[in-house]
Amino acid sequence: MKLALAYCALFALTSGVADETATGRTPVLVELFTSEGCSSCPPADRLLEQFDTKQPIADADLIVLSEHVDYWNQLGWKDPFSSAQFSERQRDYARSFGGEVYTPEMVVDGGMGFVGSDEGDARKAVHEAVRVQKTPIRVGVQKADGKVKIALHMDRAPAGTVYLALAHDSTKSQVTRGENSGRGLTHVAVVYSLEKLAKIDKKDEAFDREIAITPHAGETTRIVAFVEKQDLGRVVAVGQARL
């Protein structure tokens, strides 16, 4: 699930730049912990897709990630997108929130968790998140000679841990076993790599980082960068681009 990341000085972007954070809306990170083995999860998957494609909440730029957990895999269907890393991340959130681990669970800006198919709770959490000041991350992408470079920039970086997520733009599965047997499922922003890039100790200084990646060939990859206050906590900066 992890990709090797190469780090070096910030490069000058001259072409092929993708930057989707300058929308005039407040970026809000929406994570969905889900599983193809869970019959309660497809409605949450659809809600995440709706948030992603329709952007229905005024003043919010919803940046979504679908993280498939692996603890349903032994119950008849092995989710091809699942990872123990995402199960552990969800458990860390549960400890932080003082709650339980369940699917589907939606987490907004690292600070609020609730049943992932509950649109009312989701909208309430996003409205609350919009009111919290957040640092935009500029995500630049350059493709040359079969290689891809990503440049991250923040004018005034907040203290915290910097993460980089790579995700399939969309996926489809035909489930043949388990609780969703016989169903065709679709997902958006399915994470296949989530890495810690750096820790920022001194806030309000500029942050620049260049990363060389090898994305999955022949498909659109979403690139999401975000900063959490600590290793896991409130999201204080976020941005995205597509490759």
Which pLDDT band, with edges at 50, 70 and 90, does 100 fall under? very high
For 4-39, write each residue's pLDDT tens digit: 343 333 333 433 333 444 458 999 999 999 999 999
Q: How far is CA 6 from the centre of its chain?
A: 21
The pLDDT value given to residue 186: 97
Rg of the chain in Å (alpha carbons): 17
Mean pLDDT, to the nearest integer, of 129-150?
A: 91
Q: What is the DSSP letter of 109?
A: T
Tell me the three state secondary structure of residue 196: strand
The pLDDT value given to residue 181: 97
Mean pLDDT, to the nearest integer, of 169-185?
A: 97
Between CA 184 and CA 230 the distance in angstroms is 38
Between CA 105 and CA 45 the distance in angstroms is 10
The pLDDT value given to residue 1: 38
pLDDT of 3 over the 80 cut: no
Domains and CATH numbers, the chain: 6-242 (2.60.40.10)
Average pLDDT value over all residues in the chain: 90
Between CA 230 and CA 232 the distance in angstroms is 5
> Which amino acid is residue 219, in one-letter code?
E
The pLDDT value given to residue 23: 57
How far are the Cα atoms of 79, 106, 162, 174, 178 from residue 94, in angstroms, in the given order?
Answer: 22, 12, 21, 30, 26
The pLDDT value given to residue 61: 97
Classify burial at 96, counting beta carbons within 10 Å of its beta carbon; exposed 0-12, middle 13-18, buried 19 or more: middle
**One-character DSSP codes across 32-53:** EEE-TT-TTHHHHHHHHHHHHH
For 34-91, write each residue's pLDDT tens digit: 999 999 999 999 999 999 999 999 999 999 999 999 999 999 999 999 999 999 999 9
Between CA 195 and CA 164 the distance in angstroms is 5
Which pLDDT band, with edges at 50, 70 and 90, does 124 fall under? very high
Which pLDDT band, with edges at 50, 70 and 90, does 215 fall under? confident
- Tell me the whole-structure pTM to 2 decimals: 0.90
The pLDDT value given to residue 139: 97
For 219-236, write each residue's pLDDT tens digit: 889 999 999 998 788 999
- Sign for the CA dihedral angle at 152, 188, 41, 37 comes to negative
Q: What order do you get walking across the sheet with 235-242 strand by strand? A: 112-115, 105-108, 26-34, 60-68, 184-200, 160-174, 221-228, 235-242, 135-136
